[in-house]
Amino acid sequence: MKRKFLKNVEWGILICVILLIAIGMVALYSATNETSKEELKKQIIWLAVSLPIVIVVICVNYEVIAKISPIFYAIFILLLVVVLFTEPINGASSWFNIGPVSFQPSEFAKIFTILTFSLVITKIQQNGRNEISRPTRLMLSLAIILLPVLLIIKQPDYGTAIAFFIATAFILFVAGIKKRYIIITFLIVAISVPLLYFFVLPEHAKTRIDVYLNPDLDPRGSGYNVIQSKLAIGSGQLFGMGFLKGNQTQLGFLYPKTTDFIFSVIGEEFGFIATAGIVILYVILITKAIYVAKTAKDDLGSYIAMGIAGIFVFHMVENIGMTIGLLPITGVPLPFVSYGGSSLLTNLILIGLLLNISGRRQKSIFVQ
């Protein structure tokens, strides 16, 4: 059984992750070169803590993990409520500070929301795959997503909230939801976006959108970060300015360079070749995650893998897009590369689930 499991594991996923983590550590070393490298040290500690947890996630059957996931889902819903009463950091009440350690419950909520949502859909579909398209069943399952999303928006953390919706869309597509719901959703989004902008979004969120459309509106304020990011990436050209030689990075013009704009650090010091290599690694990782979903032994494994693929797609596109000025700045980290203990541990657990599902796969159940 162990030999068969190891043979089936999609090792290419693990290789991509190792390379991305290595790139991230090098970039963090450069980004913290003028400081005590505290963030780099914490990232290494988080990596060491994550490894045994990931091994457990790989070894325990994902069906067992999914069955107990509603318990952890409820725990993290409670934590998402409690965190709203903490002291805001950079305008958002998203973290618990326990001594020197910061803990972000919204990151871990991704894991158990995907697991619980996938489990509920498989239960609904026991009487037929079309059951998920029944309005009452669909609304019941979507409530699992909406509850944490509303709490995360309240923090506010719009980037993480959108990640939940993308993962949901991926899962529902594979689950065979009827096309009319997809069309209706697009129409609702098209109508809601302008209404949200004018009547719902707070001023700081509107400012981000305005600056995204025209960074020169506030070059020394809200537009400063994206302008410096584009300057950094542009300065790197093909091969970069050299390790520890980036002007925007080393002179402190790029901020926050260890989290949101770590991709800009890499672009400035290592150039287009390195940034293109990172994009290729993510594309391979996501493609293999979708392949794991296609070859999973059951619907549950397929849905979990597709939800994870959706998370990585959004984080890659949004983070890289915002650093080059194509998308609004939302504070979404670049998986495995940006500094952040909660993000690193969450993403490694998601990878552990992918390896778990791939090791137990038998046949394709992908919806045609």
Q: What is the pLDDT of residues 254-283, one digit of tens each?
A: 888 999 999 999 999 999 999 999 999 999
CA distance 157 to 161: 6
Position 1 scores a pLDDT of 56
**Within a domain: 367:** no
Is residue 364 one of the residues assigned to a domain?
Answer: no
DSSP 28-43: HHHHTTTTT-HHHHHH
Do 151 and 100 touch, CB atoms closer than 8 A? no
> Is there a domain that residue 368 lies in?
no
Q: What is the pLDDT of residue 367?
A: 44
| Spatial distance between the Cα atoms of 344 and 262, rounded to a whole number of angstroms | 14
- Predicted pLDDT of residue 73: 97
Find where tokens 């998203």 sit.
Answer: 94
Ranges under pLDDT 70 in the chain: 1, 362-368
Give just the sign of the alpha carbon dihedral 323, 325, 329, 332.
negative
Kindly state whether residue 197 falls inside one of the protein's structural domains: yes
pLDDT digits (tens, 9 = 90+) for 181-237: 878 877 887 788 788 777 777 777 777 777 777 877 777 777 888 899 999 999 999
Buried b (16+ CB within 10 A) or exposed e, 220-242: eebbebbbbbbbbbebbeeebbe
Q: Which pLDDT belongs to residue 196? A: 77
The reply to whether 306 falls in a domain is yes
Position 329 in a domain: yes
Q: Is 288 exposed, middle or buried (0-12, 13-18, 19+ CB in 10 A)?
A: buried
Residue 365 lies in a domain: no
Domains of the chain: total: 1
Range of 164's domain?
2-359
Any domain includes 34:
yes
pLDDT on residue 207: 74
Task: Read off the amino acid at residue 36.
Answer: S
